[in-house]
Amino acid sequence: MKIDSITLHHLCMPLVAPFETSFGREVDRECVLIEIKSEGITGYGECVATRDPGYNYETTGTAIHILKDFIIPIMLGRDVKDAMDFQTLVSGIRGHYLAKAGVEMALWDLLGKRENKSLRDLLGGVREKIEVGVSVGIQESAQSLLRTVAGYVSQGYARVKIKIKPGRDVEDASAVRSEFPNLRLQVDANSAYSLDDIKILKPLDMLNLLLIEQPLFEDDIWDHHKLQEQFETPICLDESIVSPRHARYAIEMDACRVINIKAGRLGGLSQAVMVHDLCRKVSMPVWCGGMLETGIGRASNVALASLPNFVLPGDISASDRYYVRDITNECFVLNSDSTMDVPRGAGLGVTIDEKALKDYSLNKINT
């Protein structure tokens, strides 16, 4: 595929409700949409970097810099065969996986549109619908958390994740567990604790949680092994797994029993599939994480989650859980059995609402 042009759309979209985690509070979501034109076809990808470096060191600012000054110059005018070819081309650029993954997504979209194949089929997905869940941010109080969770449960979400942080952990999780004894429930600490906090975290082990996500440092693997040794509940790694190699380290160290796969964090869908395959070999369940994506990134997540070893419900919710108005014409809806349909159209299988794209645009960079 000869790369004719790449346009970056720096967007800012209001969220339906603020999203609070242990690292901060977002009221709107900034992201970078990548539009690649090749031989008369247009492909889209979403870079999931956020405005602040709270989840990851990358931001929309660093992503635009790395894309504009390093990745795009390598690609323009070049014939890029596929995702692996792209990874080889950018292998001289250290890190910046969120930026790379956004471009790789657009290449998959182009590839699918060119061959008239859905992303699901290109990646080797096997499901027509996937199990989903909702990630609930930290609320004002345990009482308001219960109301929020009840709202999602009544909408049909059968799996709920709640965000925790020191001071808002065991009490919040216990409140949700006693109100919803049979709910598939899990917690995500986004690296808010250290090994010294084992005593604080230990009561979580009695709440029949599906998993405890990323309790310790964002770059740690070994301390998670020490923590896992003392917990019955599976520890799940998110932030720490930035490459297939890190997934292998975690497996070999028994640092976790589950991995949250995000194509953005890993540098692209090709790397996400590699982590999926690695985990499948050792029977370690995986699930698809989310970054409050637009319809573009959501389409990519849904396709990825259709691979066979995605055996736990993903942090993939209906479009209306995030945005009143999305940038795709299609919206993702929740089925009554807490699943979501996998798009069947070519590439990502979604189309851009040009008017919405324009309305949300902070800046547009043409190359």
Among the listed ranges 158-166, 185-193, 271-279, 302-310, the one in contact with Mg ion (CB under 5 A) is 185-193
Which of 117, 163, 226, 355 does the annotation list as catalytic?
Answer: 163
Among the listed ranges 58-66, 109-117, 284-292, 335-343, the one in contact with ligand OSB (CB under 6 A) is 284-292
Q: Judge residue 15's burial from the number of C-beta atoms within 10 Å of its C-beta, 0-12 exposed, 13-18 middle, 19 or more buried.
A: middle
- Site map 123..142 versus ligand OSB, x via CB under 6 A: ------------x-------
Decide if 163 is catalytic.
yes
Binder of residue 135, out of Mg ion, ligand OSB, none (CB less than 5 to 8 A by kind): ligand OSB
* Residues pairing with 235 in the sheet: 212
Which 107-126 positions form the footprint of Mg ion (CB under 5 A)? none
Q: For the CB of residue 188, give the shortest distance to ligand OSB in the complex, in Å.
A: 5
Contact between 315 and Mg ion by CB under 5 A: the answer reads: no
Binder of residue 292, out of Mg ion, ligand OSB, none (CB less than 5 to 8 A by kind): ligand OSB
Question: How many angstroms separate the Cα of 109 from the Cα of each of 57, 192, 298?
Answer: 26, 36, 13
The DSSP code sequence of 25-77 is EEEEEEEEEEEEEETTEEEEEEE--BSSTTSSS-BHHHHHHHIIIIIHHHHTT
Q: Pick from 286, 320, 316: which is nearest to 303 by CA?
A: 316
CA dihedral 90, 95, 98, 104 (to 10 degrees): 20
* Residues pairing with 45 in the sheet: 34
Decide if 161 is catalytic.
no
Nearer Cβ to ligand OSB (37/156): 156
Binding footprint of Mg ion on the chain (CB under 5 A): 188, 213, 238
The residues carrying an active-site annotation are 163, 262
Q: For binding to ligand OSB (CB under 6 A), which residues are involved?
A: 55, 135, 188, 190, 238, 289-292, 315, 317
